[in-house]
Amino acid sequence: MANAATIGISLRDLYLFNKGSLYHSYRTFGAHPIRLDDAYGVRFTVWAPHAREVRVVGDFNGWHGERHGMELIGETGVWSLFVPNLGPGTVYKYEIHTLAGERLLKADPFAFQAELRPSTGSVVSEVFDYEWHDVEWQRRKQEVSPYHEAMLIYEVHLSSWRSWGKELFWTYEEIADSLVNYVAEAGYTHIELLPITEHPLDQSWGYQVTGYYAATSRFGNPKQLMYLIDRCHQRGIGVILDWVPGHFCKDDHGLRLFDGTPIFEGTDLKRAEKPLWGTLAFDFGRTEVQSFLISNAIYWMDVFHIDGLRVDAVASMIDLHFDKPPEMLTYNTFGGTENIDAIRFLKVLNETVFHYFPDALMIAEDSSSWPAVTSPTYMGGLGFNFKWNMGWMNDMLRYMALDPGERMRHHNLITFSLVYAFSENYVLPLSHDEVVHGKYSLLNKMSGSYEQKFAQLRLFYGFWMTHPGKKLLFMGGEWGQFDEWKYDEPLDWQLLAYPKHGSMHHYVKTLNRVYGEQSSLWERDCDPGGFEWIDVHNAAQSVIVFMRRGHSENDFSIVVCNFSARHYPEYRIGVPEPGQYRHALHSEAAAFGGALAHPQEVLYSSKTAWHGRPCSLTLDLPPLSFQLLVFAAGEHGRDRYSALPGMT
């Protein structure tokens, strides 16, 4: 048995790890370059409770571990060994001898770096000494509430945003020098990275993980990723990481049967198997697994300064029957289908993250109707602070695919979301999942002719941006990528040279800017008082009108959407205040690819009551158009705006 103190390991930490509450496990486990007595070397520590013997192997010993056997620390199931004269860059694995007499070569579950696939070794890496330059960003995060701030997320798959050619990836640093400026200049507030944890198969897009603590080596080393994140923060851009605690892949060098037994996935294969994805679910009831996963969430925020996690596939975690065939159905101890262990895990995860990082973003990608996902755990909720609104997304994409002449019979698809819009704190996602595998690109989902597709996408984006909820757009959507997303090819940047796509890009950047400037569009996203219908029932003409309100009395915007292919030259809408209104954005402006060379900038209300309001405006509604109006001045007041955003 090893003496833990002699190699710098706390027995109390191992006790907490076994109990499920060591939330900085990465400081103990993995490969750590340290000085022990007078020797510099690497301390290796791994959990393998049912192993007969564990050794460290690598180039340094010719991949034969006879001289580097690890020692078991008490009855913790934890093995450790200090190897002198090793340092960062050392490639290693654990040679695990099982009780059944097998010899397994396993990557380190806590490895901070991995070899570039197809190689599968772990790499010793020093990740704790990066010099950060984001103090101002960290200070600002503590002073604002994400619920009352603009949040416009640009979702990115690093391999295919840009590349030098097939499997010739840009480095994290090269991406930083281009992506950060692009995102900042386009008006996005955050980027969301598809999983960059180490994964063996490019086709999985990072969602089938083998190295939860290792940033993928496809783009460089961990400190290069830190540089990318640092650059984002210096430009005022937050960074969200797609995080995948719901399942892991079955590759031999990974977590599956790690010590010859199912210590990460659990012994009940009916619960462990994810047949839809060919993966395994974590055993959320196992305390050491809880320490492993919660520590991983903390690790990305602590060591890499990640601002938040988008937690993937929550529905698959909390439902024991999710995508399971009849022969694999199981029930909890009360006879229900809820995964009680997973629900408890998610609650502790969120409580722990917010304990250490109160300003973090914890966003649930949840397609279920589970209630109170974004309510605090002390109120019975799961404890996330945001949730993807999958219902809105599905309804709207179905609606936009309809011929405009059919829409009057499906008016509920654009209005129903407001019935539940404030039941959770929502993000409205237009994500990668909607533009792959035969689903068509967003532009190609729109019905109608080539011209109408662009008009409808501008309309759709306008409605999306002004609907309550934070926003997420997958890369390429900003210029109307026509083809589906291809994970192994760069985006079709050449489309920007074509007028229609270039105009769409200009429209989206302008829409982004207007969104950021109009506080009424985001200050009260989570407050029912921030939204009012003006005209909700006009299914016959497929027109809706609504108002968004900010905190100030006269901080409001009027949104008018004509989802029909008909022109309404004199359409009257009610408004709450007499005075002057200005167009902040008109989707049919020629600068955006529309038909109007000079959209009317200023409109004056009349005292004709309409839609239950004391005043009204008469608008020209082109077919398939979006208009955003702002209250500029009262009858006797001076202008609220000296310049008109979005109409340049």
**74 and 45 both lie in a single domain:** yes
Average pLDDT of the segment spanning 257-266 = 98
User: Residue 37: what pLDDT?
Assistant: 87
- Is 312 part of the annotated catalytic residue set? yes
Q: How, if at all, do strands 308-311 and 238-243 pair? A: parallel
What is the pLDDT at residue 636?
Answer: 46
- What local confidence, expressed as pLDDT, does residue 3 receive? 67
> Count of domains in the chain?
3
Q: How many CB atoms lie within 10 A of CB 66?
A: 9
Instruction: Name the percent of the chain lying above pLDDT 70.
Output: 97
Same domain (yes/no): 534, 564: yes
Q: Are residues 114 and 170 in the same domain?
A: no
Same domain, yes or no: 85 and 202: no
Note whether residue 246 is domain-resident.
yes
Q: How confident is the model at residue 600 (pLDDT cuts 50, 70, 90)?
A: confident
Amino acid identity, position 635: E
Report which of residues 454 and 8 the model is more confident about: 454
* Residue 367 within any structural domain of the chain: yes
Residue where one domain finishes, among candidates 123, 141, 173 = 123
% of the chain beyond a pLDDT of 90: 93
Confidence (pTM): 0.95
Structure tokens belonging to residue 113 = 């770096």
Q: Are residues 283 and 425 in the same domain?
A: yes
Q: Do 405 and 490 reside in the same domain of the chain?
A: yes
pLDDT surpasses 60 at 644: no
State the average pLDDT over residues 352-368. 97
Residue 8 confidence (pLDDT):
83
Would you say residue 339 lies in a domain? Answer: yes
Q: Which residues contact 304 (CB under 8 A, 6 or more apart)?
A: 215, 222, 225, 226, 229
Residue 219: inside a domain, yes or no?
yes
- What CATH number should be reported for the domain holding residue 563? 2.60.40.1180
Q: Is the pLDDT of residue 1 over 70?
A: no
Same domain, 514 and 538: no
With a CB cutoff of 8 Å and minimum separation 6, the contacts of 353 are: 294, 297, 298, 301, 309, 360, 362
pLDDT at 639 over 60: no
Could you read off the pLDDT of 212-260 as tens digits, one per residue?
999 999 999 999 999 999 999 999 999 999 999 999 999 999 999 999 9
Q: Is the pLDDT of residue 635 over 60?
A: no
Residue 425 lies in a domain: yes
> 626 and 497 in one domain?
no
Q: Are residues 474 and 534 in the same domain?
A: no
At 154, which helix (H) or strand (E)?
strand 152-156
Query: How many Å apart are CA 554 and CA 575, to the nearest integer?
Result: 12
- Reading the block at residue 449, the tokens are 């002719």
- Domain membership flag for residue 135: no
Whether the per-residue pLDDT at 549 is higher than 60: the answer is yes
Domain that holds residue 545: 528-633
Residue 423 φ/ψ, nearest 5 degrees: -75, -25
Annotated catalytic residue within 95, 155, 265, 365? 365
Q: Which of 123, 140, 171 is a domain's end point?
A: 123
Cα radius of gyration (the chain): 27
Domain membership of residue 646 (yes or no) is: no
Work out the pLDDT band at 582, boundaries 50, 70, 90.
Answer: very high
The reported pLDDT for the residue numbered 643 is 39
Last residue of a domain, one of 495, 518, 541: 518
Find the largest Cα–Cα distance for the chain. 91
pLDDT averaged over the chain?
Answer: 95
- On whether both 408 and 543 belong to a single domain, the answer is no
Same domain for 350 and 227?
yes
The candidate with the shortest Cα–Cα distance to 429, out of 476, 396, 405, 381, is 396
Q: Does residue 431 sit in the same domain as residue 493?
A: yes
Q: What is the CATH number of the domain that holds 84?
A: 2.60.40.10
Alpha carbon distance 484, 476 (integer Å): 10
Comparing CA positions, the residue from 466, 393, 499 lying closest to residue 626 is 466
Mean pLDDT of 121-149: 97
Q: Which is catalytic among the residues 198, 259, 312, 341?
A: 312
> HEC string of 410-437?
HCHHHHCHHHHCCCCCEEEEECHHHCCC
CATH number at residue 223: 3.20.20.80
pLDDT of the residue at 633: 77
Q: Among 410-414, 536-540, 598-602, which stretch is predicted with the lowest mean pLDDT?
A: 598-602
Residue 645 lies in a domain: no
